[in-house]
Amino acid sequence: MSAKNLLIELFVEELPPKSLQKLGESFAQGILNGLIKHNLKLGSPDFQIFASPRRLGVSIPDILALAPDRTETIKLMPVKIGIDENGKPTSTLMKKLASLGVDGVPELKHVTDGKTETLYFDSVAKGATLKNGLQNALEEAIAKLPIAKVMTYPDPANDGWATVNFVRPAHSLIALHGSEIVPISVLGLQAGNKTKGHRFEAAIDAIVIRDANSYEVQMENEGAVIASFSKRRHEIARQLAAAAGKEGLNPIEDDELLDEVTALVERPNVLIGTFEKEFLAVPQECLILTMKANQKYFPLLDAQKKLTNKFLIVSNIRPDDARLVIDGNERVVRPRLSDAKFFFDQDRKKTLESRVLGLAKVVYHNKLGTQGERVQRVCAIAKDIGKKLGGDTLAMQAEQAALLAKADLLTDMVGEFPELQGIMGRYYAQHDGLPDDIAFAIEDHYKPRFSGDELPRNPVGICVALADKLETLVGMFSIGQIPTGDKDPYALRRHALGVIRILIEGELNISLGDAIRFAENPFKGLGYESYLALENFIIDRLTNLLREQGFSAQEVSAVCSRLSEYSTRRELLPFINDIPKRLAAVRAFSALPEADALASANKRVGNILKKAESKISSEIDVVLLKEEPEQSLHLSLSEIAPRAEAAFAAGDYTASLQALAGLREPVDAFFDSVMVNAEDTALRMNRLALLLQLHQAMNKVADISRLAA
């Protein structure tokens, strides 16, 4: 059966730029899925997405005009209900067949499932036509588009009061199967073969698409539009690199900005603009942000990554003389940069310390007080952490940095650009003459802001960053603001991951339990249920992080289950900065030939100990070791356990676990020959004591029973 390429294009008003890529992908994938569902697509599920500011489209190869007929086996009812005692169809069966559109009684099949004999029949379902299948596919694709907010506008097919709901008003629809128009309709539009190109630079007003294969070339040649989002993005990146290269500079790397600009233009043309060098006295973060956020420009950096007074403009037109376009953009950016300079100059007229009292007037949370009260809590936590990590000197520095860390929230610059909080605090602290340790801590206490972000660069920043994140976590858990599902308005998952990364990657001499308890103190304690919920929340984030790093679920479970055991008893959680070493040790142990047998044996031991009816002592009476296998196990354990313990105490977890490999043979022999639950109580309790010692020795580094298949 012959197949042709299919083209769909929906021509609309300018689409939301930050949503365009997702809209294009969803539109194309939705149509493809619908055609596959109707058996109209041959071969692999390939397609090409078209998404520009004024169009959503897709080209799909190998689409049939008529899907092949297919045979379906339809279940009817039990034989005893459908056939009477004379072997004739019952009225119930006839009604069922009529409801399925079947005339008469087809050839019936009797199938027994072991209990009931059931009637089936084979029916030939006619294949869907492209018109019907595409109509359904397009309607479903549009219904499932990720539209945050729809617009309501008059229905173009109705001169009355009818309206249409869509992300933006739609003006035309193309549906071409090869060169033939597929007669479908949607959003009040009838499918045709005409569209429009670039608003200003199209060669002709109405572009007649000859066939599905010629669309992309015609749009570029006749419409002055690069219809493919990915090709347009690649072209912009190429032009940016080329223009910057001519100046010996580098455009700032920002994928989000590149995506947004790609969604704003149909015919990209990169130009170079300049601004007065006097603006470079303003912190470059301010200038970069205002150019990116307000104007969608790409600032240019020198080889040392310092901002220059040149920037790249991605224009949507290609005039013969681009000077007017460049001049216009330079005129527009100048007031923005002047505002940034004004804010910077005004902010430096007041010290950060003088702004701290103003935080008492800023509400943080109606149940947790003001930003001023929050700062006092962070100061107390940072001081405790600093004292734990570096004594009185670090404690004093951490407290000072924490006091000033939020003061820049009251500056004009941060009021205009909230993304600069912390960064501006650092600049203003340096202007106030504060040492770099304090200034950088003010900037870094928000770090890590996102996955892969760097950690605070000095111990003071480490203390304040931990304190800030822990205060948020404890505070929100204390009032029941726990993330559920996708909802996490206070970014508590990010805060928890930040705490984990700082503790692990910073190799800090502080346990997670101590850190949480320091954060509890300003809140006068945390209820038992909230405390447990917070610990489990952090451990869950830790296990997810480790799995993302490539460790298996069994390896992560073996190590992190030890944390859960501490958590359930509300004890101080141990250091988590040695978790990577424990995981490496578990992975090395798993590669040993003895690992599977020992993991299974450990699981068996754990189950036996759980079922013990009375408390088990860890003291072993050697006299009661009657059988040779239990004597051998006791002797091996007496030799191996101290070596494993010594390696564990030295932090050599790999050696500790590998020492246990010598227990495989005595453990196997013990379970092959010894009855643990002997009738003699003294004998039984002594054997359980031996197993308890074995269990304790085997699970110092990790719960290796979790490695059992």
For 103, phi then psi, to 5°, come to -90, 135
Is 267 strand, coil or helix?
A: coil
pLDDT averaged over the chain? 92
Do 3-66+129-221 and 583-707 come out as alike in CATH topology? no
Instruction: Please check the confidence at residue 568 and state whether its pLDDT lies above 70.
Output: no
Q: How far is CA 133 from CA 128, 205, 456, 470, in A?
A: 6, 32, 57, 55
For 124-144, the DSSP string reads EEPPPBHHHHHHHHHHHHHHT
Q: Round to whole Å and give the CA distance between 576 and 592.
A: 25
Orientation of helix 595-610 relative to helix 681-698, angle to 10°: 130
Per-residue confidence band for 162, with pLDDT thresholds at 50, 70 and 90: confident
Q: Is the pLDDT of residue 610 over 90?
A: no
Distance in angstroms (rounded) separating the CA atoms of residues 604 and 609:
9
| Spatial separation of the C-alpha atoms in residues 7 and 214, rounded to whole Å | 10
The values of phi and psi at residue 74, to 5°, are -110, 130
The reported pLDDT for the residue numbered 160 is: 64
Mean pLDDT value across residues 300-307? 96
Provide the CATH topology of domain 583-707.
Isoleucyl-tRNA Synthetase; Domain 1 (1.10.730)
Q: Is the pLDDT of residue 1 over 70?
A: no
Query: Which candidate, 555, 571, 554, places its Cα nearest to that of 563?
Result: 571
Distances (CA, A) of 51 to 11, 136, 226, 377, 543: 10, 21, 9, 50, 39
Q: pLDDT tens digits for 350-402?
A: 999 999 999 999 999 999 999 999 999 999 999 999 999 999 999 999 999 99
- Domain spans of the chain, in order of start: 3-66+129-221, 70-125, 229-347, 357-577, 583-707
Rounded Cα distance, 329 and 314, in Å: 10
> What's the predicted TM-score (pTM) here?
0.80
Residue 571 has pLDDT above 60, yes or no: no
Identify which of 359, 365, 433, 369 has the alpha carbon closest to the alpha carbon of residue 403: 359
pLDDT at 651: 87
Under DSSP, the state recorded for 487 is: B
Structure tokens at 367: 């149940």
277-288 core/surface letters (b: 16 or more CB in 10 A; e: else): eebeebbebbbb
pLDDT, residue 566, reads 61
Per-residue confidence (pLDDT) for residue 321, from 0 to 100: 92
Q: Is pLDDT above 90 for 156? A: no
At residue 125 the predicted structure's pLDDT band, cuts being 50, 70 and 90, is confident
CATH number of 3-66+129-221: 3.30.70
| Residues 6+ positions from 99 with CB-CB distance below 8 Å | none
Percent above pLDDT 90 for the chain: 66
Residue 232 has pLDDT above 90, yes or no: yes
* Block residue for tokens 């296998």: 629
Distances (CA, A) of 414 to 315, 346, 409: 30, 12, 6
Q: Average the pLDDT over 32-42 and give the result.
A: 93
Q: Give yes or no for residue 587 having a pLDDT over 80.
A: yes
In this prediction, residue 573 has a pLDDT band, given cuts at 50, 70 and 90, of low
Contact 52, 116 (CB under 8 A): no
pLDDT tier, 569 (very low <50, low <70, confident <90, very high otherwise): low
| pLDDT for residue 579 | 87
pLDDT-derived band at 678, boundaries 50, 70, 90: confident
595-605: average pLDDT: 88
3-state SS of 17-53 is CCCHHHHHHHHHHHHHHHHHHCCCECCCCCCEEEEEC
| CA 368, chain centre distance (Å) | 29
Are the beta carbons of 182 and 176 closer than 8 angstroms? yes
Dist CA 335 CA 294 (whole Å): 11
How far, in Å, CA of 27 to CA of 442, rounded?
Answer: 45
